[in-house]
Chain A
Amino acid sequence: MRIKLEQHQFEGPLDLLLQLIEDQQMDITALALSEVTEQFLNYVRSLQEKNPTNLADFLIIAAKLLVIKSKALLPNLDLGADEEEAAFDLTAQLLTYKKFREVAKFLKNLEARRKQSWSRETEFTDRVTFLPDPEVTVDVLAGTLGKLATELKEIVKLPEKVLEKVVSITEKINHIQALIGQKVETRLSELLKDASGKTDVIVTFLALLELTKQRILSLDQEEKFADIIIKKN
């Protein structure tokens, strides 16, 4: 029977439990549950390796089973009211689940009849009707159109602006690395000599910080506000 269990893919822990109990031809009772605990745990162990997707769900039930099993072996064991209640709920839970499985079977039969109905897919698009204002004459329309045309002219004549070239930090890092490859030591002022603007300065500085963080460069400064000396590590 072990082989059969391992081949079958169970929908969940309750599916497995029901199968185990039905194989033993037992009713859903706490006693039956404690009987199949061992097999349940074996399945969970195999699941751990093969398909751990719903493992957590299986473990919750395994814990409840162990409470029931302990209680069956040691009737005087006091596990606290909450634990025991949660465990004995399992019989009720299993019963409810079995009922819904029965309903699922019913739905499956309904589906198997292949009797289906369809609703209309057609849509009536609204018929477009045009009812002009009596005051609208050819002259009025021509005037409105002329006004629209002048307004459009202004929209078309939008001010033009050229997008500035942006230097990315990655580009700057590559640039600095190439530069420091040639010289052993350089200075920040040297790097900023050809800076095209404030953005360029900021990007250069960020690139320096990144390279320092990656321990590719080290920075040194002799005193406050002095030029920063950049060395290769």
Chain B
Amino acid sequence: MDLNKLKSQILSILFVASKPVSIKELTETFGMSESDIKEAVEEIVSENDTSGIILLAHNDRLQLASNPENSSQVKKFLSLELREKLTEAALETLAIILYKQPVSRAEIENIRGVNSQYSIRQLLIRGLIEKSSSAQDRRVQNYQTTHEFMQTLGITDMRKLPDFETLTQNIQLPENKPDQS
């Protein structure tokens, strides 16, 4: 199928569906391969910056949303109040989940060095993260970010987020190994 036509049809489906649609659902609908669908999806995502309606692709699920650049106008139209800011603890926890996802609570607490149950619950309630069960061990609950996370922070494409290494390049151990001093 012509790529433009496929893009147009995917957009129509996403417009009608009010919930996130999985790539798998689309492959079934179109009877096409995952890579074909993903190619079209990536094209649509690359046009996000110039469009009033953008496509959020995250964890192989797709959802249409308004462009965060138009945030203040939409907010005015919906007469929405500003939401409460995230606490430092919640931001720390979210940072770990974002770059380590899917990640277990034990791992989060290992990094933060402090019980993080409360922060995790806060993020869950705000819909910024969700639970998923581990592929290796179904008993382990993992956490990952959501479409709501992208929407709240105005992220239009997960791949546009800076690398963990780039973000933290200024934080390094001194040249000599600490335990040799």
Contacts and interface: CB of A to CB of B under 8 A. Distances in A.
Contacts of B89: 11
Given A103-B98, A119-B64, A29 B178 contact: yes
Interface in A98-123: 98-108, 110-111, 113-123
Interface in A116-153: 116-124
Given A54-B115, A118-B78, A111 B179 contact: no
Nearest to A106: B167
B178 A103 contact: no
Given A14-B113, A102-B167, A115-B71, A30 B178 contact: yes
A221 interface: no
Interface residues of B, number: 54
Contacts of A107: 86, 91, 94-95, 98, 153
Interface string B66-78: 1111011011001
Interface in A17-47: 27-31
A91 interface: yes
A12 B113 contact: yes
A104 B94 contact: yes
A31 B88 CA distance: 28
Contacts of B168: 99, 102-103
Contacts of B99: 100, 103
Contacts of A106: 95, 162, 167
B155 to A, nearest CB: 7
A116 B114 contact: no
B65 interface: yes
Given A91-B173, A102-B171, A103-B167, A116 B113 contact: no
Contacts of A100: 92, 95-96, 99, 111-112
Interface of A: 11-15, 27-31, 54, 57, 60-61, 88, 91, 93, 95-108, 110-111, 113-124
Given A95-B171, A103-B99, A118-B66, 17 more contacts: A11-B112, A12-B114, A54-B114, A61-B113, A88-B178, A91-B179, A99-B164, A99-B171, A102-B167, A102-B171, A103-B96, A103-B168, A117-B68, A117-B71, A117-B156, A118-B65, A119-B65
